[in-house]
């Protein structure tokens, strides 16, 4: 594998980190084998310190965080990291939060360029709580590693078990930016974000800003099982979560599309999905998987049956697509 990093084009979400190192398919295999790491130092990091940090974040997010144990504490039955969401008053997803606590501060990894909006919201909600909120993106970086154990030195967020069991297992390690070059140079192999995103898409793991839009509710993309605690106290948007959960009728769902592989064309974010001439959804993440070939996640109307023949209208022309269900609807 070449170690000459190739930058992502402007159309790709992860800018300023390596897209690939010459062979994206080999890099995917290395990630699956657990021998490669990925530079995702473009992710934003917000740190919350203070004695009220856990209880305060618990009131603002969809996840139950009161039993979040500091990394390395060994507390029985307690998780050291969590996936949480910040919702709008109407229950739409605003932020995806990868949360880990080190015993003194809580670290939140979120999407590139999301820190200002998240910081503004948290600051407005601070009130009398004993917390200090800081954007530490310039001082700290994130590395993806194919491990299911917390890093012994640095705060590390673990992918939820439900997603890991689908084939997207790993951790996000938060470390000082000064340590990033050494961490990467010590890795057995390096993989780019092309490979990481292809594995994420194949596993049907949603990502804020890719599988979400301004109308997304957690039920549509599978976050009810992984990022929402249905029996916790009140938080913003809870009424929508409870109503849709009880009725079982989210308006859309996340699916995996298997695309016509007879050409080199692929799908891109926001490409429109049709049944005949009726638009029924849009593409979240398009990818070329080392085993599955051309694939894409898509958000489609819940009424579309699994055996429907779809067409994705791309910049290079239409592509036929078949559905593989990801978010299963019980009712």
What confidence category does residue 329 fall into, taking pLDDT thresholds of 50, 70 and 90?
Answer: low
pLDDT > 90 fraction of the chain, expressed in percent and rounded:
83
**pLDDT score recorded for residue 69:** 81
| 220 and 185 part of one domain | yes
List the beta strands (DSSP E) in the chain. Answer: 6-7, 18-20, 36-39, 44-49, 81-87, 93-101, 105-110, 132-135, 140-145, 156-158, 171-176, 189-191, 252-259, 272-275, 278-289, 293-301, 309-314, 317-325
| 202 and 255 part of one domain | no
What confidence category does residue 80 fall into, taking pLDDT thresholds of 50, 70 and 90?
Answer: confident
Q: What is the mean pLDDT of residues 195-221?
A: 97
What confidence category does residue 113 fall into, taking pLDDT thresholds of 50, 70 and 90?
Answer: confident
Euclidean distance between CA atoms 295 and 260, whole angstroms:
9
Euclidean distance between CA atoms 223 and 23, whole angstroms:
32
| 129 and 107 part of one domain | yes
pLDDT > 70 fraction of the chain, expressed in percent and rounded:
95
**pLDDT score recorded for residue 72:** 59
**pLDDT score recorded for residue 330:** 46
**pLDDT score recorded for residue 50:** 96
Q: Indicate whether 290 pLDDT > 70.
A: yes
Residue among 22, 16, 63, 71 at smallest CA distance from 44: 16
**pLDDT score recorded for residue 118:** 96
Q: What is the mean pLDDT of residues 272-287?
A: 97
Domain boundary among 219, 249, 279: 249
**pLDDT score recorded for residue 328:** 58
| 119 and 130 part of one domain | yes
What's the CATH code of the domain at 178? 3.30.1360.120
Q: What is the pTM (predicted TM-score) of this model?
A: 0.95
Q: Indicate whether 270 pLDDT > 90.
A: yes
**Digit-coded pLDDT (tens) for 232-269:** 878 999 999 999 998 878 999 999 999 997 777 789 99
| 142 and 272 part of one domain | no
What's the CATH code of the domain at 275? 2.40.30.110
| 221 and 294 part of one domain | no
Contact 290, 25 (CB under 8 A): yes
| 287 and 297 part of one domain | yes
Contact 320, 310 (CB under 8 A): yes
| 244 and 256 part of one domain | no
Euclidean distance between CA atoms 132 and 111, whole angstroms:
21
Euclidean distance between CA atoms 279 and 263, whole angstroms:
23
**pLDDT score recorded for residue 1:** 42
Question: Number of structural domains, the chain?
Answer: 2
Domain boundary among 223, 249, 275: 249
Domain boundary among 249, 274, 292: 249
Residue among 212, 219, 220 at smallest CA distance from 285: 212
| 35 and 125 part of one domain | yes
Tally of CA atoms within 13 A in the half-sphere of 15 that contains its CB: 5
| 160 and 271 part of one domain | no
**pLDDT score recorded for residue 132:** 97
| 140 and 267 part of one domain | no
What confidence category does residue 8 fall into, taking pLDDT thresholds of 50, 70 and 90?
Answer: confident
DSSP H helical ranges for the chain: 24-33, 53-60, 115-124, 161-164, 180-185, 193-202, 218-221, 238-247
**Digit-coded pLDDT (tens) for 148-188:** 899 999 999 999 999 999 999 999 999 999 999 999 999 99
Domain of residue 202 covers: 1-249
Rounded to the nearest integer, the mean pLDDT of the chain is 92
Task: Extract the tokens encoding 324.
Answer: 């593989």
Task: Extract the tokens encoding 171.
Answer: 């951790």
Q: What is the mean pLDDT of residues 50-59?
A: 96
What confidence category does residue 4 fall into, taking pLDDT thresholds of 50, 70 and 90?
Answer: confident
Q: How many residues does this entry show for the chain?
A: 331
Supply φ then ψ for residue 153, to 5 degrees.
-115, -45
**pLDDT score recorded for residue 264:** 77
| 178 and 300 part of one domain | no
Lowest mean pLDDT of 6-15, 101-110, 151-160, 272-281, name the range: 6-15
């Amino acid at each position: 594998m070449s170690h000459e990093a190739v930058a992502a084009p402007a159309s790709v979400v992860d800018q300023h980190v390596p897209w690939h190192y010459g062979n994206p398919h080999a890099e995917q295999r290395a990630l699956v084998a657990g021998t490669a790491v990925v530079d995702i130092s473009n992710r934003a990091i917000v740190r919350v310190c203070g004695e009220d940090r856990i209880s305060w974040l618990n009131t603002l997010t969809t996840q139950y965080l009161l039993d979040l144990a500091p990394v390395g504490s060994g507390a029985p039955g307690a998780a050291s990291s969590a996936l949480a969401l910040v919702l709008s008053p109407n229950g739409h997803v605003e932020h995806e939060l990868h949360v880990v606590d080190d015993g003194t501060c809580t670290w939140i990894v979120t999407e590139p360029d999301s820190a200002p909006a998240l910081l503004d919201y948290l600051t407005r909600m601070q009130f009398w709580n004993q917390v200090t909120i800081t954007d530490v993106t310039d001082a700290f970086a994130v590395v993806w590693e194919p491990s299911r154990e917390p890093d012994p030195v640095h705060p590390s967020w673990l992918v939820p078990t439900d997603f890991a069991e689908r084939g997207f297992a790993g951790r996000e390690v938060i470390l000082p930016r000064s340590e990033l070059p050494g961490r990467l140079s010590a890795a057995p192999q390096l993989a780019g974000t092309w490979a990481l995103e292809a594995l994420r898409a194949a596993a049907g793991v949603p990502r804020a800003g890719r599988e979400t839009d301004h109308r997304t509710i957690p039920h549509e993309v599978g976050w009810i099982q992984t990022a929402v605690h249905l029996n916790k106290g009140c938080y913003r948007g809870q009424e929508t979560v409870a109503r849709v959960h009880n009725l079982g009728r989210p308006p859309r769902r996340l699916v995996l599309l298997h695309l016509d592989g007879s050409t080199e064309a692929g799908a891109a974010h926001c490409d429109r999905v049709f049944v005949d001439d009726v638009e029924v959804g849009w593409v979240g993440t398009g990818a070329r998987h080392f085993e599955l070939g051309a694939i894409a996640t898509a958000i489609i109307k819940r009424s579309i049956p699994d055996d429907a023949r779809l067409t994705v209208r791309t910049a290079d022309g239409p592509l036929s697509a078949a559905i593989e269900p990801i978010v299963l609807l019980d009712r």
